[in-house]
């Protein structure tokens, strides 16, 4: 039965059908690399003299449909290395794969119709198991062979397949909605942020609209940190080489750091992390156990090298601002502090409507510092904190930072996609490396523990997630403009300006459209900018001090007293309501 076929097996089999169709259409000179199944479908990487575009998709799909209707079997055959090298002698990427296989590897091929591929499988039995119209080519992109920028750039055709047309149709509708929500597209349309070639890739500029939203986000962040016992610190963007040698970043993290700059007699690095600065702020004074825990937070901008191919809008950039904090505490306090950070994270994420949250515990990586006994204590503390918080979790073996294990919190957005946001890291490395100390109640000098944590991850990444989560229609308290005032005619411009001033005095982010455009055009513009409320004002409103309200959700109300409207919107802002 079709429903019993493993979806990845179906998709991998479709990758072979797609490659077969391309070979039939574009000749045997096409050099095929790999064609695996992936989460949302499959792809095939290839080298071809023809440059593929979306205009080619219909022709390729038609040939795939013809091949599927032949009802050919997928035939597996095990062959020797010598035979494999002979069969694929004209396929250079297959030859490289064969040569890289271990000496005792089983080498197998799959034949479907006239197409033979080097493959370990598995595959479906027969092409009749592929539903007619159950596959679709989605996009084409460039991909370096084996992900190496020094190797050839191949063409990668992405596609998908489902057991039936209904599921494919639902998936296509989902992808179309995803395209509408793409934060890069909405960032341009809503004038939120921009990238510029003259500045450099992965370095974002915030436009005024994005700046308003960012300020609202940061004010919320600061207010909540004040309420939860944090102090704010600030640190510079560069530090001397000795700082990064002491911290261990030059030994374990240098590949993600930028080249040093020479200043006077010393080398300086732009910071990839804020933590060494916070350590030195702590060491500036002697501390007693009564001072602990120290909870120090900073919206600190850091710079990390990302390969050009890995950059992706706001979530993957080279310069970003971490919503960073470090908790320096006694060993007796650490479990309670971690548990409190978990609670705080869940509250902060829940404010934005993220309720489906999963926890992952990342353990000791292959390259790390510190004794195994320290790692055991740290991992046990994180486990206990998760247990006390009542959170189930998965273990990511070897996924910890070089200086300690961590907890990652991942959320599912409104499109059911998972994002890794909050991170809570246990660190026994920096206190040791920097000789951090506190005077305990017994008068003895002891070593504190340190907890790193970021609730949003970074402002840029979180901002990108929010854009797509809300589809650009931000809740009132976050929206760059919360209200747009539109006069019905030039005679009422003065009243529109008066209403706008009244709203601004009430701490509402408001604008009045006093342009020469017609009223309906102004309303369309405000709606396209996803402004939550449009206030249309005319003669009767001017006399009665009212307005006609158009809500983003589609509701409309006439003759609404301004005082009543202001009170309603202030309530939604104060409660951080997620409703329109």
Catalytic residues: 275, 304, 322, 324, 326, 406, 452
Written as one string, the DSSP assignment of 76-143 is EEEE-HHHHHHHTTT-HHHHHHHHHS-TT--EEEEEETTEEEE------SBGGGSPTT-EEEEEEEEE
Distance CA 352, CA 221 (A): 12
Distance CA 580, CA 578 (A): 7
What are the Cα distances from residue 494, in Å, to 491, 512, 525?
8, 10, 21
Kindly state the helix (H) or strand (E) to which residue 425 belongs, with its residue range: strand 418-427
Peptide bond into 122 cis (omega under 30): yes
Distance CA 352, CA 467 (A): 11
How open is the CA angle 358-322-319, to the nearest 5 degrees? 120
Residue 336: burial class (beta carbons within 10 Å; 0-12, 13-18, 19+):
middle
**Residues, the chain:** 580
Specify whether the CB–CB gap between 519 and 486 falls below 8 A: yes
What are the Cα distances from residue 426, in Å, to 138, 230, 323, 401?
42, 18, 17, 9
Task: State the Cα torsion 496-497-502-507 to the nearest 10°.
Answer: 110
- Please name the residue that has the structure tokens 């009223």: 519
> Helices in 284-333 by DSSP H: which ranges?
none
Nearby residues of 519 by Cβ (< 8 Å), 6 or more positions away = 486, 487, 488, 489, 536
Q: How far is CA 452 from the centre of its chain?
A: 20
What are the Cα distances from residue 289, in Å, to 439, 449, 458?
6, 12, 31
């Amino acid at each position: 039965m079709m429903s019993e076929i493993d979806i990845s097996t179906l998709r991998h089999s479709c990758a072979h059908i797609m490659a077969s169709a391309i070979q039939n259409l574009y000749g045997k000179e096409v050099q095929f690399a790999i064609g695996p199944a992936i989460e949302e479908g499959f792809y095939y990487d290839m080298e071809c003299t023809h440059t593929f575009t979306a205009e080619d998709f219909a022709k390729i799909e038609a040939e795939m449909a013809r091949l599927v209707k032949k009802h050919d079997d997928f035939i597996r055959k095990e062959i020797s290395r010598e035979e494999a090298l002979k069969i694929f002698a004209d396929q250079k990427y297959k030859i490289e794969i064969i040569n890289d296989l271990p000496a005792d590897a089983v080498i197998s091929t799959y034949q479907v119709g006239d197409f033979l591929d080097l493959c370990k499988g598995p595959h479906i039995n027969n092409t009749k198991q592929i539903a007619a119209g159950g596959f679709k080519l989605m996009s084409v992109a460039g991909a370096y062979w084996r992900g190496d920028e020094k190797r050839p750039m191949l063409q990668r055709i992405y596609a998908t397949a489902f057991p039936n047309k209904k599921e494919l149709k639902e998936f296509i509708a989902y992808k179309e909605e995803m395209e509408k929500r793409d934060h890069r597209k909405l960032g341009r349309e809503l004038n939120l942020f921009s990238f510029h070639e003259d500045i450099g890739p992965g370095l974002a500029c915030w436009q005024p609209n994005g700046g308003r939203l960012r300020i609202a986000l940061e004010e919320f962040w600061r207010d909540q940190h004040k309420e939860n016992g944090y102090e704010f610190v600030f640190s510079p963007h560069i530090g001397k080489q000795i700082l990064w040698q002491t911290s261990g970043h030059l030994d374990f993290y240098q590949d993600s750091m930028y080249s040093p700059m020479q200043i006077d007699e010393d080398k300086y690095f732009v910071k990839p992390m804020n933590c060494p600065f916070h350590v030195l702020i702590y060491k500036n004074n002697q501390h007693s156990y009564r001072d602990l825990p120290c909870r120090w937070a900073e919206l600190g901008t850091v710079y990390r090298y990302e390969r050009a191919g890995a950059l992706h809008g706001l979530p993957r950039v080279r310069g970003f601002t971490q919503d960073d904090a470090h908790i320096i505490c006694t060993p007796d306090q650490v479990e309670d502090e971690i548990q409190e950070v978990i609670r705080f994270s869940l509250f902060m994420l829940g404010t934005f409507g993220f309720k489906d949250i999963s926890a992952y515990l990342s353990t000791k990586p292959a390259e790390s510092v510190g004794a195994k006994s320290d790692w055991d204590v740290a991992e046990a503390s994180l486990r206990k904190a998760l247990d006390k918080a009542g959170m189930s979790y998965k273990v990511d073996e070897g996924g910890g930072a070089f200086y300690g294990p961590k907890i990652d919190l991942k959320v599912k957005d409104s499109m059911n996609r998972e994002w890794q946001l909050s991170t809570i890291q246990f660190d026994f490395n920096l206190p040791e490396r920097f000789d951090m100390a506190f005077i305990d109640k017994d008068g003895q000098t002891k070593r504190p523990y340190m907890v790193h944590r970021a609730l949003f991850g970074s402002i840029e990444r979180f901002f990108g997630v929010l854009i797509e989560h809300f589809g650009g229609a931000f809740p009132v308290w976050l929206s760059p403009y919360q209200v747009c005032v539109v006069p019905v005619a030039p005679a009422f411009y003065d009243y529109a300006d008066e209403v706008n001033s009244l709203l601004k005095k009430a701490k509402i982010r408001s604008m009045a459209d006093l342009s020469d455009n017609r009223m309906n055009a102004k309303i369309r513009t405000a709606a396209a900018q996803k402004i939550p409320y449009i206030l249309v004002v005319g003669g009767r409103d001017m006399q009665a001090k009212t307005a006609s309200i158009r809500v983003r959700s589609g509701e409309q109300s006439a003759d609404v007293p301004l005082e009543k409207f202001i009170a309603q919107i202030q309530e939604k802002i104060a409660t951080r309501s997620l409703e329109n």
